[in-house]
Amino acid sequence: MILSDVSVKRPVFATVISLLLIAFGLISFQDLSVRELPDVDPPVVGIRTNYPGANAAVVETRVTQIIESAIAGVPGIKTIESTSSDGRSNITIEFLLSRDIDAASNDVRDRVSRILNNLPEEVEPPEVSKADDDTRPIIWFSLTSPVMDILQLTDYAERNIVDRLSVVDGVAGVRIGGQKRYAIRIHLDRQAMAARRITVQDIETVMRSENVELPAGKIQSINRDTIVRLNREYSRAEDFETMVIKEGDEGGFVRLGDI
């Protein structure tokens, strides 16, 4: 009743108040940041770990569970989902909307780095990304060339395209589909290995320790300093054939070409 009495007795005042409310409403409407159906992207961090040669059960117990236990105490976690498949572990961590994605990913990386020594030696270093590793790509770019093969196109994409797209604002990750990399396949003779009591694990261990490039120090003189580099990388099939796997029982060496 008070509002109606004021409107009847003081129409000018009521009109001014109404106009002020309308103006205030129009100004506020233009500054509204909440939509009817807001696009809310929760902070999500993904951890992808490769364990070559391991089945899903081994990946679950030796990799996934260890990483989950390490990241369980990170503040602001809403849900943790994981999938373990042959040779691969994917963990998706969803944080509360109030959690900063950069700070959350840094906390996850810190927790993961602490348990690297608890993972099997064959496990590749876990990759932490600010996105769900199980999500599908939004945009695909196709590369074709009349002069480059698929190996050269893969190398070109890695050198010139991936890094440039990764720094674009809003891009969570860039993947190369259909890529091919240069590789040397080694076909082992099971009978020769059994006769020399050599396992696949022995060969893998030697290849990981031999096919590397290591620093060997430097030589200092009065006028110059020379860096010494120990090049133990193998690039040809002939190089792998001469790789020493173990010392023979009766002397000599067992080379990869022998098995």
pLDDT digits (tens, 9 = 90+) for 219-253: 887 788 777 777 667 777 788 888 888 887 777 78
Mean pLDDT (whole number) for 85-99? 88
Same domain, 196 and 178: no
pLDDT at 134: 55
Distance (Å, whole) CA 102 – CA 119: 25
The per-type count for the chain, helices as H runs and strands as E runs, is: 10, 8
Q: Report yes or no on 141 lying in a domain.
A: yes
Q: Report yes or no on 107 lying in a domain.
A: yes
Say how many domains are in the chain. Answer: 3
pLDDT at 122: 82
Distance (Å, whole) CA 245 – CA 203: 6
Expressed as residue numbers, the domain containing 62 is: 44-129
Block residue for tokens 């050269």 = 152
Burial class (CB in 10 A: 0-12, 13-18, 19+), 59: buried
39 against 192, higher pLDDT: 192
Is residue 122 helix, strand or coil?
coil
Same domain, 100 and 163: no
Same domain, 207 and 253: yes
132: pLDDT strictly greater than 80: no
33 against 255, higher pLDDT: 255
Same domain, 211 and 145: no
Same domain, 176 and 195: no
On whether the CB atoms of residues 245 and 257 are closer than 8 A, the answer is no
Which residue blocks in 116-241 are alpha helix, DSSP H?
Answer: 150-160, 162-166, 190-195, 200-210, 237-241
Q: Report yes or no on 6 lying in a domain.
A: no
